[in-house]
Amino acid sequence: MGRGSRGTTVLEVLIGTAILAALVAACYGVMNLLFSTRSRHSLTSMTRRSFVQKDARAGFRRLIYRLRESIQVIDPAPGTGGPTLTFRDITNQKIRIRLDGSQSRVLSEKEVAGTWAVETAPTLVQAGADALPASWPVAMLNCTAIHFSVLSPECVSVVATLVSEGQSGSYMTVIKLRNANVNL
C-alpha cells in the first residue's frame, strides 16, 4: 500500500513558519537600517548629508577660486587672523568675506561708496564688445564658524566649520594668491 497523498505534519508547519518569520525579521531589519530616520547611518540621512556636503564643497571651492584670483589681502594683517577677510579682487574692488551667523552662511560683500553690499551677481569686465564675468560671489551654506589666518601677504589659511544634522565637520585649506604681483 503506497503512501498516497498525505497532509503536512505540525512539525513541518512550525519549521516553515519559523523560516518565514526569520526572513521577515531579516527584511524588516535591513529596511529599518536603510530607511530609519533615527539612525545617522540610514540611507535618507546619508543622502541628506551628502547633499549638504556637496553644497558646502561647491561654496568652499568658490571661496578658494575667489581668493586665488585676488591681488591683495587688506585685513587682517600678515601673521594675524580673524572671522572676516578683506581683499582686493582681480577687478581691483574691495571685497569682504564674512560669516552671516543669523543664516549660518558665508557670503561675500563688495564695498560700494564706503558701505558693504552683499554680492548677488558676478563682477563683469569688458572684453572687446562683450562683458565677461571676472569673479563670482561667494555663498557657502551650513557654515557655523570660519577663521582666516593671513600667513603672508600672498597666502591665507581658511578653516570653516560646517554642520549637518547636528554633526559638525571642518574644512581647512591654505590658499596662495596667484595675482599678488599684478599692478593695476
Q: How do residues 101-131 score in pLDDT, each as one tens digit?
A: 788 889 999 999 989 999 888 877 777 878 8
Q: Note the pLDDT of residue 180.
A: 74
Weakest mean pLDDT among 56-65, 91-100, 112-121, 145-154: 56-65
Question: In whole angstroms, what is the distance from residue 81 CA to residue 99 CA?
Answer: 14
Q: What is the DSSP letter of 9?
A: -
Residue pair 88/72 in contact (Cβ under 8 Å)? The answer is yes
Q: Which of 9-13, 57-61, 65-69, 145-149 has the lowest average pLDDT?
A: 57-61
**C-beta neighbour count of 45 within 10 angstroms:** 18
pTM: 0.69
**Contacts with 72 (C-beta within 8 Å, 6 or more apart), sequence order:** 87, 88, 153, 177, 180
Task: State percent of the chain over pLDDT 90.
Answer: 31
CB-count exposure of residue 135 (10 Å: 0-12, 13-18, 19+): buried
